Chains A and B, each alone.
Chain A
């Protein structure tokens, strides 16, 4: 098991390095010149000389390899450079915003987890009956509805019409509810189908017949026998969905005026703030890679066959 974890960790580091090269290449090849934007910020009618001065100051006229090496070395030591737009340390910006995004993704993940299990469980318990049809339809609708639309509907219902939750802000649990629901809704819909299909397959297995012959109820068979059997598949899907939630944060954070990493990334992209975009991409990629490793380990722990194979 230790060898498996070590191997996964080594692969993760290699992947991270390749990803850093890729994201640097993507960012520098994007159209638009950040020096023009900065010069404009400093002087409303910046001249070509002003723009050249900014390029010199920021080292934007240096060879790409040199720029990449300088950036990577800093990133390894926790120094992601200075934001071209604000002049603040990017590391400090990330740190101050990390809690916001972590709160959003964690809350969204809890919503997705609970809602998907509930909906999937209801569907399986009343398989091929009215509740199953309703939950299946809801899941299809949920999986086809983009987050920004879900958010708009929730805000309209709970904030504009009923005044239950605030429309924006990051000021305590009451203001967290709508962003959590918005972010967790789509993954919940997808995951509920994984649960429902997994239960259906599990309930067709011979051990279920044995359990039923012993007089166990359908509910207790689902909880005791089916859940452990669908756990590896479900964890795998959950990991993927949590990964996509980080991307979803880029949409949900501006919608609710949350100043998280998603919002920082979006602003960085719009402004060609290379330092911010690179750092955010690296954070996203690192999160994905760590998440994958954790999910792999969890799957191995929950599946005795894999545990045996990998040890």
Chain B
């Protein structure tokens, strides 16, 4: 087995690649890097990687797209800086530029070779441009929530034009977060429950997502390992929601008040971060108005969201779980453990006193007890209405008629060309 440039893929190459990222402080967010203890080359075909303690999800982490890479040792400059993408995969890069990249099949690939010889990846920043290119036959495949997202409406348009559309249930969940540290009213679980009951998830799924998204009351979809028992999807019940708000002391109308203060909350929305969220926010705004809650929508761009969310400058905000391959611990630890610095992603809900011990217990539980420990986290979030899960975000792909055998990739970071054949 060799790299694209003919360099042997052996134990020395693997060790060289590992040492480019493993054990470095910047990669401590990965258990495998944080607990790394050293490597030993056994022979040409074997490397022992030692860790300070057993690593949860080791193989999963070794499959991450970054920073884990297996590059040819000759693909870097003398100072170790990255020079060219020379790997062992089924494609080798022929050209690369601002407009896109072209790849040729690597005929010495060790696994099943692709059925076609040439692959072009084009940069088309505008979703309407991508749709037009597909319909005109200028491209064969578009989609994927991470690569080139298509909205449900766009999917319907393409379907109507006779284009093959593939819907993947996805592994991410769209959730509305409550910031209890900024808004006193949200510290009361009754208010959070009232908001949860004020939202018509079924309508959002059916109307805004054209029935392509599944509404939920869970943190994770069943496609995620250890996703826990299924909770009932909260059904919109304005009478119960109003009663809960009355019990919580928020009375009067049209905007409820308590101690002379309006029940007015701000929802931060970023279309770039969570596509389609602006429309969802507008629906929720109108629905909550009916139960006496005034919702102000603040639209921000990608950069502003990345400042405001970690600094907790929001009352309510939309989040998405990380999705495969990072689940369930990517979200459970990253978005809920208050002591874990999650950088730009911020925190969905934090409660150092009650939630942190449950998350820590799940993290350190032996494999046999992990599922039960995670369930305790899910139960706590559910019982306290700590979050408002809305729907599972579908992965939408569309392809030309000549593309046969397309299957959605396991994660949003994999290119789904493996099973594709082209009918001429």
Give CA–CA (A31, B268) in the complex, Å: 14
Q: Are A160 and B129 closer than 8 Å at their CB atoms?
A: no
A224 to chain B, nearest CB (A): 45
Instruction: For B132, list chain A residues within 8 Å (CB).
Output: 152, 155-156, 159-160, 167-168
Residues of A within 8 A of B135 (CB): 160
A36 to B301, CA, bound (A): 14
Which residues of chain B come closer than 8 Å to A48, judged between CB atoms?
341, 343
Residues of A within 8 A of B (CB): 31-34, 36-37, 39-40, 42-48, 50-51, 96-97, 152, 155-156, 159-160, 163, 166-170, 254-257, 259, 263, 266, 270-272
Shortest Cβ gap from B417 to chain A (Å): 21
A255 touches B126 (CB 8 A): yes
Q: Name which residue of chain B comes closest to A165, CB basis.
A: B136
Docked pose: A167 CA to B138 CA in angstroms: 7
Chain A residue at minimal CB-CB distance from B27: A43
A38 to B238, CA, bound (A): 44
Whether B410 is near chain A, meaning CB under 8 Å from some CB there, is: no
The CA-CA distance from A40 to B136 in the complex, in Å, is: 37
Closest CB of chain B to A250's CB: distance in Å?
12
Task: Spot the interface stretch: B117-125, B167-175, B349-357, B381-389.
Answer: B117-125
- Docked pose: A163 CA to B66 CA in angstroms: 40
Report yes or no: A168 in contact with B122, Cβ–Cβ below 8 A. yes
Quick one: closest A residue to B134, CB to CB?
A167
Set B27, B99, B306, B342: member contacting A32, Cβ < 8 A: B306
Total contacts A to B, CB within 8 angstroms?
111
Contact A31 B303 (CB under 8 A): yes
Contact A254/B343 with A43-B27, A163-B136, A166-B138 known, Cβ cut-off 8 Å = no
A50: chain B residues within 8 A (beta carbon): 26, 343
Known: A45-B29, A270-B272. A168 touches B343 (CB 8 A): no
A270 touches B341 (CB 8 A): no
Given A31-B303, A270-B301, A272-B303: A40 and B344 within 8 A (CB)?
yes
Q: Contact: A168 with B304, CB < 8 Å?
A: no
A33 touches B138 (CB 8 A): no
Inter-chain CA distance A211–B334, complex, in Å, is: 83
A192 to chain B, nearest CB (A): 28
Interface string of B277-316 (1 = CB under 8 A from A): 0000000000000000000000011111011001000000
**Given the complex of chains A and B, what is the CA–CA distance between A51 and B136 in angstroms?**
44
Distance, CA A47 to CA B301, complexed state (A): 21
Check A168 against B124 for contact (C-beta < 8 Å). yes
Quick one: closest B residue to A93, CB to CB? B98
**Bound: A39/B345 CA distance, A:** 12
> B225 interface residue, CB < 8 Å from A?
no
| A46 surroundings in chain B (CB, below 8 A) | 343-344
Q: Say yes or no: is B182 at the interface (Cβ < 8 Å to chain A).
A: no
Q: How far is the CA of A169 from the CA of B129 in the complex (A)?
A: 11
Interface centre among A34, A96, A256, A266 (most CB of B within 10 A): A256
> Are B343 and A257 within 8 A (Cβ)?
no
- Residues of chain A within 8 A (CB-CB) of B307 are 31-33, 36
Q: Once the chains are docked, how many angstroms separate the CA of A157 from the CA of B238?
A: 48
Q: Which residues of A contact B341 (CB under 8 A)?
A: 45, 47-48
> How far is the CB of B268 from the nearest CB of chain A, in Å?
12
- The one of B29, B99, B138 in contact with A170, judged by C-beta atoms closer than 8 angstroms, is B99
Q: Contact at A263–B344, with CB atoms within 8 Å?
A: no
CB-CB under 8 A from B26, the residues of chain A are: 42-43, 50
B137: Cβ under 8 A from any A Cβ: yes
CB distance from B75 to the nearest CB of A (A): 18
Shortest 6 CB-CB distances between A and B: which pairs? Answer: A32-B303, A259-B98, A46-B343, A47-B341, A254-B125, A45-B29
- B128 touches A (CB below 8 Å): yes
**Docked pose: A70 CA to B135 CA in angstroms:** 49
Q: Which residue of A lies closest to B124 (CB)?
A: A257
Chain A contacts of B334 at CB under 8 A?
A: 45
Q: Does B133 contact A (CB under 8 A)?
A: yes
Task: Give the residue name and chain of the A residue nearest to B161 (CB).
Answer: A160
Bound-state Cα–Cα, A254 to B128, Å: 10
| Chain B residues within an 8 Å CB radius of A36 | 303, 306-307, 310, 343-344
